Structure 1
Amino acid sequence: MKRLLPAATKLITACAFGIFVYRAAHAFAHTHHLNVLLLAIAETVTVLLILIARRPEDVNISFKTCLLTVCGTYYFLAINLGVGLRLAPLWLSQGIQILGILWQITSKVYLGNRFGLLPANRGIIDRGPYRLVRHPIYFGYLLNHIGFLLSAFSLINVGIYCLLYLFQVGRMLEEEKLLSKDEAYRRYCGHVRTHLIPGVF
């Protein structure tokens, strides 16, 4: 089961991403909304790393973590990519999205092929952005999503993103629970207290 799961996950992710890319291209063709492309770029980086990720030694495949992972990963299929209410100038919303993408990419460079969907011990990283927060990739996602909402606000998307981050927090805590078996990770947590947002969580 554990050997088949990574291959199945990669196949499902590639198919879901194909659907999202089609929707994003269709939305951009009709709206010429650069924020949609920035959202797609962020998802592209994530999917590429999922596809090249190595198989971890210790992975949590409980029903709870699988549910959190599915909901926290494939949420992009539910996002409304149409034109919403613009809450901020485009230069600001796009700037926030670009910052989020750059932060996300930087964090993933430090993580390398240790990236994956399910909570697992893929090695402890304590350099770069990981010196500031325990889950810097999620922080990059958050910036990107905030930028997108500022450019295309809708109650549907707000609801989807609120649910998304409930699932993401669950994923973070499950991952930390698994990693806490490792003494090196416990030492790391002693130095880095922030899970996601400094001063908040």
Structure 2
Amino acid sequence: MGRIADYAERLFLILLSATFLQAMLTNAVAHPYVLLLCVSETLPVFLMIIRRPGEMAMKPYPFFLAFVGTAAPLLVRPVAGGFQLLPDAVIAGLMTLGVGINVSAKLALWRSFGLAPANRGVRSGGPYKFIRHPMYLGYFVTQVGFLLANLTLGNLIKYLVTWTVQVLRIREEEKFLLKDAAYRDLARQVKFRLVPGVY
């Protein structure tokens, strides 16, 4: 059952990312910063393909959160009629910061990356020295940048759903990972989950 879930998760992400890329790349000339969002949201495809096996949470709720948390941000689109709150240079800077955090977290995880909660080895290097879930922080910063450049009701709703689900997802990952003594040690050393000094 675990192997079927593993392959289904990979196939889902590949198909969803392909449609996302197709929609985004058609707008890359007019809005070059969308390339940053493409990197942030599609790097998982490569990491999913090369990841190592590990113990996964098999309950429906964590899978549902992983599905929604991954699918919802892939549904946003750049829009000509959207309301842009900041200049392109500021948007690009914010999104670059988010992608930097995100990519550094993914590189630290490398073959341990997954969607549903899983334990493929506890990582404590790179940005994991400062917060326990830096990848989600990177997503949030990148997505806020994109939203500030493409503010529509539809994009706002998709991101509000995403951010709510990501917090719930962190809680589920924590429940699963805290079964591991190595992760409990990390949680004692790294106090905050998502934002230093806040949560």
Fold similarity call, TM over 0.5: yes
How many Å apart are 1:28 and its aligned residue?
3.3
Give, as a single letter, the amino acid of the residue that structure 2 aligns with 1:43. E
State which of 137, 142, 145 in structure 1 corresponds to 2:143: 145
How many Å apart are 1:137 and its aligned residue?
0.7
User: Secondary structure, in 3 states, of the residue corresponding to 2:72?
Assistant: helix
Other-structure match for 2:49:
51
Other-structure match for 1:8:
8
Aligned pairs for 1:67-146 within 5 A: 67-83=64-80, 84-146=82-144
After superposition, the CA RMSD in angstroms is 1.4
User: Secondary structure, in 3 states, of the residue corresponding to 1:160?
Assistant: helix
Give, as a single letter, the amino acid of the residue that structure 1 aligns with 2:179. K
Question: Is the Cα contact below 8 Å between 1:131 and 1:192 reproduced in 2?
Answer: yes
In 2, Cα distance between equivalents of 1:59 and 1:77:
23
In 2, Cα distance between equivalents of 1:28 and 1:144:
16
How many Å apart are 1:71 and its aligned residue?
0.2
TM-score with structure 1 setting the length: 0.93
Task: List structure 1 runs of 4+ shifted beyond 3 angstroms.
Answer: none
How many Å apart are 1:101 and its aligned residue?
1.0
Question: Is the Cα contact below 8 Å between 1:35 and 1:94 reproduced in 2?
Answer: yes
- Per-residue CA deviation, residues 105-148 of structure 1 (Å, 9 max, x unaligned), is 11111111000011011111112210100001111111110111
1:60 and 2:54 aligned = no
Give, as a single letter, the amino acid of the residue that structure 2 aligns with 1:6. D
1:28 and 2:25 aligned = no
What is the number of equivalent residue pairs in this alignment? 198
In 1, Cα distance between equivalents of 2:52 and 2:182:
21
Give, as a single letter, the amino acid of the residue that structure 2 aligns with 1:74. A
In 2, Cα distance between equivalents of 1:33 and 1:42:
16
Question: Is the Cα contact below 8 Å between 1:20 and 1:76 reproduced in 2?
Answer: no
In 2, Cα distance between equivalents of 1:46 and 1:59:
17
| Deviates most, 179-188 or 35-44 | 35-44
Q: Which runs of 5+ in 1 are unaligned?
A: none
In 2, Cα distance between equivalents of 1:53 and 1:79:
27
Q: Which runs of 5+ in 2 are unaligned?
A: none
Percent identity, please: 35
Aligned pairs for 1:148-163 within 5 A: 148-163=146-161
User: Secondary structure, in 3 states, of the residue corresponding to 2:33?
Assistant: helix
TM-score with structure 2 setting the length: 0.94
